[in-house]
């Protein structure tokens, strides 16, 4: 068996007294798409930054393609890793092409290779027309697309994507997904953070949910859904300030309920039975039956801080 792409043991990062990543363990196989989910401030970006060697680790061990993270190996690791950072760190004064050129030099590409690679990536992110524009003249989503093109320049074995689709229009989002699937077919390893649960469910082979610097649960998306929540959810839509009370006859069916501002979510194993009871009990309200998703897992595990 070849080495895993990444192994982290008791990995830790603190800033002064503040612990941003609090002793996490994970192993990412080569060719896998591995996701990090979690609310704002959970420690996802800090973990990504340790992986792409932008910040030193404070404790534990981190091994990337067999190299121990640490100054002696960081240059080697950086050459193997493509990065799409969460924050735009493009040079605003330079043109799109000039920004890409700087990275081609880092990867040691010849002028001809660099030109071809940059052109094909700008084509992919649909930015040929802006190739000569200064970055400061681009829209937010266009800047994101330049970052994506830049991350792919070195044909990386490992691609770290920190919220790559935030700010992208639906078309650009789907284009990126297609590209990521194609990369995976070529055995690249992908590490991804996202706040879009549908994206995580589609792209990730396995994922972890982090909260307050710790990993709180992990697994394949479908496994997580089966383990953490029921198979079905009945949504009861209401217009009152307060969600309707659960009638006595439904209590035995409902394993857990969650009141959102406009809906009552009822987590049930027997969806058919629950929806027919709901329709009988609340004839004036709209009730819908759906399968549980990763979003339900997220809500359960991390509470509702994001919505509050």
Cβ atoms of 107 and 153 within 8 Å: the answer is yes
Distance CA 52, CA 50 (A): 6
Of 47 and 292, CB closest to ligand ATP: 47
Of 46 and 97, CB closest to ligand ATP: 46
Torsion of CA 286, 291, 293, 296, to 10 degrees: 50
For ligand ATP, which residue has the nearest CB? 45
> Binding of Mg ion at residue 86 (CB under 5 A)?
yes
Q: 15 contacts which partner out of ligand ATP, Mg ion, none, CB within 5 to 8 A by kind?
A: ligand ATP
CB of 36 to Mg ion, least distance (A): 9
SS (H, E, C) 61-129: EEEECCEECCHHHHHHHHHHEEEECCCCCCCCCCEHHHHHHHHHHHCCCCHHHHHHHHHHHHHHCCCHH
Which residues, 77 to 106, sit near ligand ATP by CB under 6 A? 86
What angle is formed at CA 221 by the lines to CA 153 and CA 163, rounded to 5 degrees? 35
Of 12 and 44, CB closest to Mg ion: 44
Name the E strands within the chain.
Answer: 6-15, 18-28, 33-37, 59-64, 67-68, 81-84, 158-162, 189-193, 206-211, 214-219, 232-237, 254-259, 263-268, 286-291
Distance CA 143, CA 153 (A): 16
> Binding of Mg ion at residue 217 (CB under 5 A)?
no
Stretch that binds ligand ATP, among 15-23, 71-79, 268-276, 292-300 (CB under 6 A): 15-23
> Binding of ligand ATP at residue 287 (CB under 6 A)?
no
> Binding of Mg ion at residue 88 (CB under 5 A)?
no
Per the rule left: phi > 0, alpha: psi between -120 and 50, beta: everything else, 219 is: left
Of 38 and 151, CB closest to ligand ATP: 38
Query: Which residue in the block uniquely carries the two structure tokens 């910040």?
Result: 55
Of 44 and 53, CB closest to ligand ATP: 44
Of 195 and 220, CB closest to ligand ATP: 195
Stretch that binds ligand ATP, among 14-22, 69-77, 102-110, 117-125 (CB under 6 A): 14-22
Q: 38 contacts which partner out of ligand ATP, Mg ion, none, CB within 5 to 8 A by kind?
A: ligand ATP
Which residues on adjacent β-strands are paired with residue 254? 268
CB of 162 to Mg ion, least distance (A): 6
Q: 20 contacts which partner out of Mg ion, ligand ATP, none, CB within 5 to 8 A by kind?
A: ligand ATP
Number of residues that bind ligand ATP (CB under 6 A): 12
Smallest CA-to-CA distance from 233 within 200, 201, 263, 197 is with: 263
Which residues, 19 to 78, sit near ligand ATP by CB under 6 A? 20, 38, 40-46
- What residues line the site for ligand ATP (CB under 6 A)? 15, 18, 20, 38, 40-46, 86
- What residues line the site for Mg ion (CB under 5 A)? 44-45, 86
């Amino acid at each position: 068996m070849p080495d895993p792409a990444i192994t982290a043991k008791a990995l830790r990062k603190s800033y002064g007294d503040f612990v941003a990543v609090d002793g996490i363990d994970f192993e990412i196989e080569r060719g896998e798409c591995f996701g990090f989910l979690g609310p704002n401030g959970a420690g996802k970006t800090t973990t990504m930054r340790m992986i792409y060697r932008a910040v030193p680790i404070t404790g534990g061990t981190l091994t990337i393609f067999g190299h121990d993270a640490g100054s002696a190996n960081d240059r080697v690791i950086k050459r193997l890793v493509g990065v799409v950072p969460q924050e735009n760190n493009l040079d605003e004064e330079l043109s799109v092409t000039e920004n890409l050129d700087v990275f081609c030099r880092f990867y040691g590409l010849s002028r001809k290779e660099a030109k071809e690679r940059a052109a094909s990536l700008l084509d992919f992110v649909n930015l040929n027309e802006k190739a000569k524009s200064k970055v400061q003249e681009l829209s937010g989503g266009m800047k994101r697309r330049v970052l994506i093109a830049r991350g792919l320049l070195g044909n990386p074995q490992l691609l770290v994507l920190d919220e790559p689709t935030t700010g992208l229009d639906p078309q650009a989002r789907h284009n990126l997904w297609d590209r990521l699937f194609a990369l995976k077919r070529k055995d690249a390893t992908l590490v991804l953070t996202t706040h879009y649960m549908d994206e995580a469910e589609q792209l990730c082979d396995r994922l972890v949910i982090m909260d307050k610097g710790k990993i709180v649960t992990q697994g394949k998306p479908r496994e997580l859904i089966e383990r953490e929540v029921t198979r079905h959810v009945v949504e009861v839509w209401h217009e009152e300030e307060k969600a309707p009370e659960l009638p006595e006859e439904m209590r035995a069916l409902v394993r857990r309920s969650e009141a959102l501002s406009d809906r009552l979510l009822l987590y049930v194993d027997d969806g058919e039975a629950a929806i027919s009871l709901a329709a009988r009990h609340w004839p004036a309200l709209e009730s819908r039956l759906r399968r549980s998703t990763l979003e339900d897992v997220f809500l359960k595990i991390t509470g509702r801080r994001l919505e509050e």
